[in-house]
Every structure is written in structure tokens, then in C-alpha cells.
């Protein structure tokens, strides 16, 4: 089950964190993986690890916020089976503390970047006879999270785009779903704690972990496993759905 042999997968933001976990798992399951990331240098480790396991991987440096660049990269890749729109950036701030520049920056990557990839990918998926799209949303699209105004705005947009794409391309056999993680332990979390709570990293990590009702953060590999299922043939009857993977955060904190 859940094999991706003879499938080609495009993963944005595949150089670290959740994207890296997805890239490694998809390659392990037989997919030819194409990583789109802002810098190929950021992908050196994941490329090495995939190739050491005998997997197939290629990297395409690209800023997803630039439509021309995205269109060129997808044209280079050609028809494929799976798109995982994972590239995104975080931001901390409220409506009155978020600057216009920061708001535009988060929108450019998290919303326009997803749109750019969808726009470039759908013709290639159509040529392929269909396929699966995963958009990475967040629990922030469903519940209020303190000081996440711009980020929550973008993830709400991602969920809405997921529904629209799922509806518009049913006849093209293109499925589109989204995943909404809660807090996930990634290098971003470690860097955030080191910058903002030097000397208190362990204490703050424990506090953040306890905000998930299950008592810990998710592992990137757990999110990757859900993405694998949704992109596999076993999920062929699933489209237009958001999947929280949040340790009970949405339902048990409300």
C-alpha cells in the first residue's frame, strides 16, 4: 500500500522541516522527487540522504513568489503526478503591529506562492491525465491563535483555494486536499527558541508542547505520512477536504 512507483512528485519548500520529511518519504516509496526551494544550497542534505537510500531527486532553485520563475521551473519538470505546496513563512504580530511590508511579504509567499504553483502545475497535471495536490494549511486557519494575524490570514486563503481547485478540476481527475498541522517540531522551532529565549530553550519548548492537548508537538514524519496517504492511489476517493493533524488542538481547545 501507499506506493508511489512510476510517479513524479513536486514538493515546494522541500529543503527542511515538513517539506524535507515529505520529500524523503515520497522518494522512499518510489516517487521521482523534484524539490522547488529558494536555494539549492538549502537542499544539499536532503538530496544526499535521498540518494544514499537509492532514491531519485532533483532540485530546482526558485522563489515561489515570482510567477515567471515558477512557470519556467514547472515547464522544465514537465508532466507529473503530485504537487505538495509546502513552501511558506511564518510571522508574529497583530493587526496593528504588522507592518505593510511584512504583510505583503507573508502574502507573497504563502498565498501568491501557492497560486503561482497551482497555476503552473494544473496544465502539467492535466497533460498527465490527473493527479493529486496537497496544500499545506494550518490550524491557524480554523481557530484564533494569538499574534498570528498575517499568518492566519494566509492559511485561511490556502484552505479556500483548496476547495476552489478541488471543485474546478474534478473532470480533469485532479484531486486537491489540504493539511492543517498544529505545532510541529522543526528546525524553525529550535531557531525561534534560540533567538527569543536564549538559555530557556528547554523550558519554552515544554510550554509550547503542552499547548497541544496530546502533550507534545507533532513530528515532521507524521505530517509526511498523512501527505503520503492523500497522494496515494488508496486515497483516490478523497478531494476537497482539510485534514487537521494537531494532537486535538482544534477540537479539544475550543
CB 86 within 8 A of CB 110: no
CB hemisphere CA count around 111 (13 angstroms): 16
What would the grid cell of residue 162 be?
483548496
Query: How far is C-alpha 122 from the chain's CA centre?
Result: 17
Residue 91 and residue 194: Cα distance in Å, rounded?
16
CB 80 within 8 A of CB 131: yes
Active-site choice (115, 151, 169, 243): 151
Interior angle at CA 14, CA 147 and CA 223, nearest 5: 65
CB 38 within 8 A of CB 63: yes
Sign of the alpha-carbon torsion through 57, 62, 67, 73: negative
Residue 105 exposed, middle or buried by CB count within 10 Å (0-12, 13-18, 19+): middle
Sheet strands side by side (includes 174-181): 56-61, 32-37, 8-12, 82-85, 131-136, 174-181, 242-245
CB 40 within 8 A of CB 48: no
Residue 96 and residue 75: Cα distance in Å, rounded?
41
User: Is 243 in the active site?
Assistant: no
Query: Which residue numbers are catalytic?
Result: 151
Amino acid at each position: 500500500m501507499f506506493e508511489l512507483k512510476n510517479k513524479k512528485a513536486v514538493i515546494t519548500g522541500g529543503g527542511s522541516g515538513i517539506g524535507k520529511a515529505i520529500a524523503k518519504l515520497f522518494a522512499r516509496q518510489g516517487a521521482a522527487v523534484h524539490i522547488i526551494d529558494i536555494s539549492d544550497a538549502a537542499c544539499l542534505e536532503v538530496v544526499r540522504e535521498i540518494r544514499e537510500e537509492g532514491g531519485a531527486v532533483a532540485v530546482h532553485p526558485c522563489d515561489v513568489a515570482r510567477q515567471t520563475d515558477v512557470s519556467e521551473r514547472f515547464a522544465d519538470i514537465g508532466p507529473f503526478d503530485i504537487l505538495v505546496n509546502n513552501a511558506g513563512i511564518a510571522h508574529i504580530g497583530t493587526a496593528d503591529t504588522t507592518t505593510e511590508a511584512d504583510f505583503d511579504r507573508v502574502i507573497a509567499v504563502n498565498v501568491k506562492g501557492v497560486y503561482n504553483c497551482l497555476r503552473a502545475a494544473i496544465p502539467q497535471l492535466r497533460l498527465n491525465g490527473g493527479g493529486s495536490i496537497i496544500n499545506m494549511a494550518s490550524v491557524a486557519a480554523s481557530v484564533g491563535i494569538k499574534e498570528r494575524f498575517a499568518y492566519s490570514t494566509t492559511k485561511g486563503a490556502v484552505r479556500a483555494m483548496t476547495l476552489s481547485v478541488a471543485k474546478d478540476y474534478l473532470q480533469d481527475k485532479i484531486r486537491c486536499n489540504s493539511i492543517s498541522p498544529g505545532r510541529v517540531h522543526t528546525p524553525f522551532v529550535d531557531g525561534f527558541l534560540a533567538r527569543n529565549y536564549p538559555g530557556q530553550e528547554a523550558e519554552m519548548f515544554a510550554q509550547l508542547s503542552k499547548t497541544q492537548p496530546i502533550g507534545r508537538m507533532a513530528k515532521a514524519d507524521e505530517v509526511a505520512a498523512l501527505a503520503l496517504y492523500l497522494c496515494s492511489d488508496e486515497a483516490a476517493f478523497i478531494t476537497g477536504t482539510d485534514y487537521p493533524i494537531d494532537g486535538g488542538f482544534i477540537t479539544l481547545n475550543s
